[in-house]
Amino acid sequence: MIPGSGKARFGLIDVVVLCTVAAAVWFVLARLQTGMNYRWQWGVLADFVIRRDPVSGDWVPNIILLGLFTTLRLALWGGVVALVVGLAIGLMRVVPSPTARTLAAVYVGLIRNIPPLVFLFIFYFFLSSQVIPLTGLQSAVRSASPQTLAALEVLFGPPRQIGPFLSAAAAIGLYAAAFIAEIIRAGVNAVGTGQMEAAQALGMGWASAMRRVILPQALARVWAPLANEFILMIKFSALASLVSVPDLTFQAQQAGITTRSMFEVWLLVAAIYFVICFGLASLFGALERRAMRAR
């Protein structure tokens, strides 16, 4: 784009980039066809996406689609945990209490400097083996009514896997909460100190001024990075496959092993992740532009 013109123009650089991408795609496909003697079998994937039930004769989701539903559930509940905990930790980072600020800084510094896979393993195995058995969740699920089991399956997936699912969702959410806390802290600090002083001059306490004056302005400023963090969390949820949560990545591994069509399976999974993340990015971008026009 020419500075100041406001219009994008298709030029030589665009031609070079497009030709380079096309050549790279052609090279990869050619090497697969000749160098590896790979035979594409896209047709075998259809049965792993949707199948016909042998009893009812109806079409029902198969493992790829079921894995996609689990991934979306992980992102949803992980996002709820991340937003609630991240908001609380972010506010603790700016409260007048030095003890609260120190605890919040320790939480953020500890988690942000641990690889996500390591954190997932530590938290998952501790929560699954120590905390969840104490809650009596598994026995409650076993004795639940059919209506309750149906509701649990919609919200959390198969009831028999609710323990591992909740552990993975909590781990994903708590890890993302450390980054959301820093986003919230940066948004609050970006609001001028005069806003807090003016609110307190009107008789508001710190908590009331933060809730009614500072936080709405801060959240409006950090909408884009919060949306980006949620999209990152969807991709991070793929790590749950390593602790046997049957998400999209886990089910893709099973389909790939069964069919030996690794390229087809992983290209399909990559396309699904791309559609989800790109769709959410477009949606969040449209909401952000609408919010900017409403100001």
Q: Mind listing the pLDDT tens digit for each residue in 192-216? A: 778 888 888 888 888 888 888 888 8
* Spatial contact of 81 and 166, defined as CB atoms under 8 Å apart: no
pLDDT at res. 33 = 66
pLDDT at res. 11 = 77
Tokens matching residue 289: 């532009």
The predicted-structure confidence for 143-166, as pLDDT tens digits, reads as follows 889 899 999 889 998 888 888 899
Consecutive H or E run containing 200: helix 193-201
Q: What separation in angstroms does the CA of 170 have from each of 37, 163, 221? A: 44, 11, 27
Tokens matching residue 290: 């609408």
The predicted-structure confidence for 166-187, as pLDDT tens digits, reads as follows 989 999 999 999 999 999 999 9
Tokens matching residue 54: 């042998």
How many other β-carbons are positioned within 10 Å of the β-carbon of residue 228?
15
The predicted-structure confidence for 20-37, as pLDDT tens digits, reads as follows 999 988 887 777 667 666
Half-sphere exposure of 243 (CA within 13 A, CB side): 28
pLDDT at res. 99 = 94
For all residues of the chain together, what is the average pLDDT?
Answer: 87
Output the CA torsion sign for 200, 204, 209, 212.
negative
pTM metric for this prediction = 0.84
Q: How many residues does the chain have?
A: 295
The predicted-structure confidence for 222-268, as pLDDT tens digits, reads as follows 888 999 999 999 999 999 998 889 999 999 999 988 888 888 899 99
Give all strands (DSSP E) within the chain, no chain letters.
Answer: 50-52, 59-61
The predicted-structure confidence for 98-113, as pLDDT tens digits, reads as follows 999 999 999 999 999 9
**3-state SS assignment for residue 59:** strand
Best CA proximity match to 86, nearest among 181, 186, 203: 181
Q: What is the DSSP letter of 244?
A: T
Letter for the amino acid at 164?
P
pLDDT at res. 1 = 47
Dist. CA 113–CA 110, nearest whole Å: 6
pLDDT at res. 3 = 47
pLDDT at res. 142 = 83
Dist. CA 173–CA 188, nearest whole Å: 21
Which residue stretches of 31-97 are H helix?
46-49, 63-92
* Domain spanning 39-294, CATH architecture: Orthogonal Bundle (1.10)
C-beta contacts of 204-213 below 8 A and 24+ residues apart:
206/95, 206/96, 210/91
Q: What is the DSSP letter of 212?
A: I
First-to-last alpha carbon distance for the chain, in angstroms, is: 28
Q: What percent of the chain has pLDDT over 90?
A: 42
Measured in whole angstroms, the distance separating CA 177 from the mean position of its chain's CA atoms is: 12
Letter for the amino acid at 262?
M
Tokens matching residue 180: 């959301």
* Spatial contact of 214 and 186, defined as CB atoms under 8 Å apart: no
Q: What percent of the chain has pLDDT over 70?
A: 94
